[in-house]
Structure 1
């Protein structure tokens, strides 16, 4: 595992890690993290793929994990800067250094939503979507819908306004987020256009993407529904060519997958689901 610092066009330092295989199979896998999820969550998964010959890269968006400033209050970042600047800086590095590799991008949750914000997304040969959808509250199941209205309609804007950042960990929603990342997340949940509403505010390259995409969702992921996944593929990425895989709880050793736990080491046997698609 090699630590790298990549500088964005607006001079923000992103901390990344490169997992280099002993025997290179000519394939490159980039992992775009979920909202508020540090890159170390993906390390075991990355090491597993590196052992199979893949070169794998993980990174933290600005304001998250190792790319987080000492004081997050007042630090400017949004999901749109994650896509248009952070993801862009990463893809520029890959284009320069791994020109001849067959390239995969795994988008976990928001990591798939930001693809349309970066024209370089066209360079990937295939995509893998894990636990992602148009997150509009109307696509959610009843209980999660209530939690989303209370959380993103009341608790999130209130705490963000008072503190100057969103203490997501108070609500079991990952690492604390810069203010405008939180507001973009609120848009994804409460605005009917969801991802498309964010894309309206930025250069939108989503309709240019025509690659194959392997779409995975877990049976026990309460934040993901078939309706939400269909909405994302139909209205945001209509030109991608999807295949789908529903992972049942019974396939997990601990009977836990949810929104994050697919990448936990105890679910290692599930990783072959993706590996088999990439070989």
Structure 2
């Protein structure tokens, strides 16, 4: 594992890790993280794919994990910046260092939503979506819908306004987020256009993507619904060619997958679900 520090077009340092295989199959997998999820969560998964011959890259968006500033209040970041600058810095690096490799990108949650914010998404042969959807409350189940209205309608804007950033860890929602990342997340939940509303505010390349995409949804992911997943593929990425896979709780050794735990080492047996598609 090799640590990389890459510099964005606006001079922000993005910390990434490169996992190199012993037997190189000249395939590269970029992992776009979920909101507030540090790249270390994906290390076991990355090491597994490196053992299968893949070069793998993980990274933290600005404001998260190893790419976090000393002070969050007033730090300029948004999900739109994650897609158009941070993710773009990684694709630029991949184009330069691995020009002839077969390229794959895994988008976990928001990591799939930002693909349309970067024209370089065209370099990937195939995408893997894990735990992602158009997260509008209208697509959610009743209990989650109520939690979303309370959390994103009241608690999140109030705490973000008071502190100048969103202390997501107080609510079990991962790493603290820069203010505008939190507000973009709120848009995804409360605006009926969801992802498309963020794309309205930026150069939108989502309709140009025509690759295959393997879409994974965990049976016990309470924040995800089939309706929301289909909305993302039909309304945001209508020209991608999806194959869907529902991963059942019974397939997990711990009977636990949820929104993040697909990537935990105890679910290593599930990773063949992806390997068998892109090997």
TM-score (norm 1): 1.00
Which whole-Å CA distance do the structure 2 matches of 1:54 and 1:155 have between them?
42
Q: Which residue of structure 2 lines up, in the alignment, with residue 180 of structure 1? A: 180
Which whole-Å CA distance do the structure 1 matches of 2:20 and 2:239 have between them?
32
Q: Which residue of structure 2 lines up, in the alignment, with residue 204 of structure 1? A: 204
Which whole-Å CA distance do the structure 2 matches of 1:134 and 1:163 have between them?
28
Which whole-Å CA distance do the structure 1 matches of 2:145 and 2:96 have between them?
43
Q: How does 1:53-132 map to 2 (within 5 A)?
A: 53-132=53-132
Q: How does 1:128-143 map to 2 (within 5 A)?
A: 128-143=128-143
The number of residue pairs the alignment matches comes to 279
SS of corresponding position for 2:6: strand
SS of corresponding position for 1:36: coil
Q: Which residue of structure 2 lines up, in the alignment, with residue 213 of structure 1? A: 213
Deviations 1:154-202 (A, max 9, x none): 0000000000000001111100000000000000000000000000000
Give the ranges of 4+ consecutive aligned residues of structure 1 lying more than 2 Å apart after TM superposition.
none
- Tell me by how many angstroms 1:70 deviates: 1.0
Which whole-Å CA distance do the structure 2 matches of 1:92 and 1:275 have between them?
25
Which whole-Å CA distance do the structure 1 matches of 2:2 and 2:183 have between them?
33
Which whole-Å CA distance do the structure 2 matches of 1:163 and 1:222 have between them?
28
Q: Which residue of structure 1 lines up, in the alignment, with residue 195 of structure 2? A: 195
- Tell me by how many angstroms 1:109 deviates: 0.1
SS of corresponding position for 1:81: helix
Q: Which residue of structure 2 lines up, in the alignment, with residue 39 of structure 1? A: 39
Q: Which residue of structure 2 lines up, in the alignment, with residue 223 of structure 1? A: 223
Q: Which residue of structure 2 lines up, in the alignment, with residue 162 of structure 1? A: 162
Which whole-Å CA distance do the structure 1 matches of 2:89 and 2:245 have between them?
31
Which whole-Å CA distance do the structure 2 matches of 1:103 and 1:88 have between them?
14
Which whole-Å CA distance do the structure 1 matches of 2:201 and 2:33 have between them?
22
Which whole-Å CA distance do the structure 1 matches of 2:225 and 2:11 have between them?
38
Which whole-Å CA distance do the structure 2 matches of 1:76 and 1:137 have between them?
27
Q: Which residue of structure 2 lines up, in the alignment, with residue 257 of structure 1? A: 257
Which whole-Å CA distance do the structure 1 matches of 2:76 and 2:256 have between them?
35
- Tell me by how many angstroms 1:146 deviates: 0.2
